[in-house]
């Protein structure tokens, strides 16, 4: 208990940015829907209350995985609700047993193989802009992360003001297992976790439950799944945009919880010892030495998780998390966009497509990574993923965020 309490003491609340309006945008009470929007309305449904609106990810058969049309609809809804003076706060939740399992990567896989990387570029651009909108939202926003919350499912929820975890919540960032990297703002919030917990989660794909999310600051409230109905009923009756009133209403049904003895948070000292090292090679070597000396079972399991991942993704991810520790949300998203576009372009490697093939298409779980070994991954390879556009023609490949209109408030 003392270890967890100490962890909670060093955990700082995640700091986000809030927007300030500059200029006027056209007012609309509801978004303008095109024909293509109408096709996706049933995948992101809307629930209206007196002074609030809820966006519901409603694609349970696909574990509420985000498609490009879903991201576009979410962005239009949130922009419209922010402009509407009749709406005081907003909420997001998922239908079924999942909040959001991340991006729907199969369409991206097929687009890349067909040579249509423009669709991938548009998807990531739209997704990262929505994450930035969440992190700079003018009105109180709530995410109820009940159930599986993986990959960019964290990105569309954790930047919000209030994050509600439950006893059904499972958070994970397994991107390195498919030759990708934790994105959609993950390098911002993972890098701000206690010690080197973020590096550990990013390089292993290890899961956290709702209690652990509260303990390390990724969630603001914990509520039993069985009481969510009462929570939603209570906040649905609110007629205010005062964050303190909304917070008090959420706290009314929240529970004071602590991680049990099996939680990885009790291993924070070991995590810091290994994942605080400078390179992936040093991390692996230190754990291998520990296994050889003591047969430590946790190190054995962790080594297996790390070694299953793409060697290139491991190095990219470690550098991304380390850089994120000193960057703002918009800077993290800009860097992540460069990494993502380099990944889908296959300029250096086709590991992203190979990882999807191995896990989701052929399901042989035997990816042929390129390069296959850590020692074959050069500095130039890694640097290519982080390099900004160097001329006017390439500048179109840079992420464009409305930073001038949505400024930091801290």
Q: How confident is the model at residue 39 (pLDDT cuts 50, 70, 90)?
A: low
| Model pTM score | 0.88
Please tell me the predicted confidence (pLDDT) of residue 388: 86
DSSP 144: E
291-350 confidence digits (pLDDT tens): 999 989 999 999 999 999 999 999 999 999 999 999 999 999 999 999 999 999 999 999
Average pLDDT over residues 6-18: 41
Report which of 122, 155, 128 is spatially closest to residue 333, judged by C-alpha positions: 128
358-391 confidence digits (pLDDT tens): 999 999 999 999 999 999 999 999 999 999 866 5
User: How many residues are recorded in the chain?
Assistant: 410
Q: What one-character-per-residue DSSP string does 72-124 give?
A: HHHHHHHHHHHH-TT--EEEEEESTTEEE--B-HHHHHHHHHTT-HHHHHHHH
Q: Out of 1.20.1070.10, 3.30.413.10, 3.40.50.300, 3.90.226.10, select the CATH number for domain 38-386.
A: 3.90.226.10
pLDDT for 73 beyond 60: yes
81 contact partners, CB below 8 Å, separation of at least 6: 53, 87, 90, 139
Q: What kind and span of H or E run contains 280?
A: helix 280-294
- Report the alpha-carbon distance of residue 130 to residue 185 in Å, rounded: 10
Question: Parallel, antiparallel, or unpaired: how do β-strands 141-145 and 162-166 relate?
Answer: parallel
DSSP 208: E
Report which of 331, 161, 174 is spatially closest to residue 246, judged by C-alpha positions: 161
46-71 confidence digits (pLDDT tens): 999 999 999 999 999 899 999 999 99
208-223 confidence digits (pLDDT tens): 999 999 999 999 999 9
146-198 confidence digits (pLDDT tens): 999 999 999 999 998 999 999 999 999 999 999 999 999 999 999 999 999 99
In the numeric block, which tokens belong to residue 5?
């309490």
Please tell me the predicted confidence (pLDDT) of residue 395: 58
216-274 confidence digits (pLDDT tens): 999 999 999 999 999 999 999 999 999 999 999 999 888 888 888 899 999 999 999 99
In the numeric block, which tokens belong to residue 259?
């991680």
Q: How confident is the model at residue 25 (pLDDT cuts 50, 70, 90)?
A: very low
In the numeric block, which tokens belong to residue 152?
């960019």
- What does each C-alpha distance from 163 to 91, 106, 160, 184 come to in angstroms? 10, 28, 7, 16
- Report the alpha-carbon distance of residue 331 to residue 388 in Å, rounded: 12
């Amino acid at each position: 208990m003392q270890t967890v309490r100490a962890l909670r003491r060093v955990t700082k609340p995640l700091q986000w940015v809030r927007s300030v309006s500059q200029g006027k945008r056209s007012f609309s009470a509801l978004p303008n829907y095109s024909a293509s929007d109408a096709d996706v309305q049933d995948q992101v449904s809307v629930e209206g209350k007196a002074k609030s609106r809820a966006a519901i990810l409603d694609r349970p058969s696909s574990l509420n995985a985000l498609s490009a049309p879903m991201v576009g609809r979410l962005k239009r809804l949130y922009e419209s609700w922010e402009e509407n003076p009749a709406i005081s706060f907003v909420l997001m939740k998922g239908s079924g047993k999942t909040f959001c399992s991340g991006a729907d990567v199969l369409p991206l896989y097929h687009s890349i193989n067909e040579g249509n990387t423009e669709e991938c570029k548009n998807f990531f651009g739209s997704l990262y802009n929505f994450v930035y909108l969440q992190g700079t939202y003018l009105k109180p926003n709530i995410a109820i992360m009940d159930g599986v919350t993986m990959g960019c499912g964290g990105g569309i929820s954790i930047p919000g003001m209030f994050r509600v975890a439950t006893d059904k919540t499972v958070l994970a960032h397994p991107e390195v297992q498919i030759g990708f990297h934790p994105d959609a703002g993950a390098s911002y919030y993972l890098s701000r976790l206690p010690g080197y917990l973020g590096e550990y989660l990013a390089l292993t794909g290890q899961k956290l439950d709702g209690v652990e999310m509260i303990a390390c600051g990724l969630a603001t409230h914990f509520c039993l799944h069985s009481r969510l109905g009462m929570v939603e009923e209570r906040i649905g009756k609110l007629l205010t945009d005062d964050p303190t009133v909304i917070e008090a209403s959420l706290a009314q049904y929240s529970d004071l919880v602590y991680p049990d003895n099996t939680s990885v948070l009790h291993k924070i000292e070991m995590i810091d010892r290994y994942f605080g090292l400078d390179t992936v090679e040093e991390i692996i070597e230190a754990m291998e030495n520990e296994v050889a000396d003591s047969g430590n079972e946790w190190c054995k399991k962790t080594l297996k998780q790390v070694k299953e991942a793409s060697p290139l993704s491991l190095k990219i991810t470690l550098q991304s998390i380390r850089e994120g520790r000193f960057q703002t949300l918009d800077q993290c998203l800009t860097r992540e966009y460069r990494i993502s576009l380099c990944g889908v372009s296959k300029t250096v490697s086709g590991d992203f497509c190979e990882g999807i093939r191995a896990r989701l298409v052929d399901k042989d779980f035997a990816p042929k990574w390129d390069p296959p070994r850590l020692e074959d991954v050069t500095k130039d390879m890694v640097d290519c993923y982080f390099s900004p556009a160097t001329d006017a023609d390439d500048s179109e490949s840079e992420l464009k965020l409305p930073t001038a209109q949505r400024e930091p408030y801290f």
